[in-house]
C-alpha cells in the first residue's frame, strides 16, 4: 500500500477499538488523538500528562501525530 502512496492513520487513538496494540500490528503512519484527551489539556493536569505521554510515544515511534479539537494556541 505504501508503494501506491497510501498511508494508514489511527483515528480517535486510545478510545474504543483504537487500542495501543494496533501500533504493533499495523504499519501505521499517523495517530490522531481523540478530543476527549485534548479538550481540557490546559485546565486538567491528568489530560495534559496523558496527551504529553501519547505525543512522546508517537514521536519516539517516528510517527506523525494530530490532536483532534485543538482550537487555540494554548
Q: What is the pLDDT along the chain (74 residues), one digit of tens a residue?
A: 778 888 888 887 766 666 677 777 878 889 888 888 788 888 888 888 988 888 898 899 898 998 888 877 77
Domain assignment present for 10: yes
- Give the containing element (helix H, strand E) for 59: helix 45-60
Rg of the chain over Cα atoms, rounded to whole angstroms, equals: 13
Is 31 inside any structural domain?
yes
Q: Is 6 inside any structural domain?
A: yes
Strand order in the sheet with 9-13: 9-13, 30-33, 64-67
Q: Assess if residue 74 is contained within a domain.
A: no
Chain centroid to CA 43: 20
Whole domain around residue 63: which residue ranges? 2-67
Residue 43 inside a domain? The answer is yes
At residue 7, the pLDDT reads 85
Q: Does 72 map to a domain? A: no
Q: Within a domain: residue 73?
A: no
Residue 18, pLDDT score: 62
74 vs 12: CA distance, rounded Å: 21
Number of domains in the chain: 1
Amino acid at each position: 500500500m505504501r508503494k501506491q502512496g497510501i498511508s494508514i492513520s489511527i483515528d480517535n487513538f486510545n478510545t474504543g477499538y483504537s487500542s495501543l496494540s494496533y501500533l504493533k500490528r499495523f504499519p501505521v503512519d499517523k495517530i490522531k488523538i481523540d478530543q476527549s484527551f485534548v479538550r481540557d489539556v490546559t485546565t486538567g493536569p491528568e489530560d495534559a500528562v496523558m496527551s504529553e505521554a501519547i505525543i512522546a510515544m508517537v514521536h519516539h515511534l517516528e510517527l506523525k501525530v494530530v490532536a483532534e479539537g485543538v482550537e487555540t494556541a494554548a
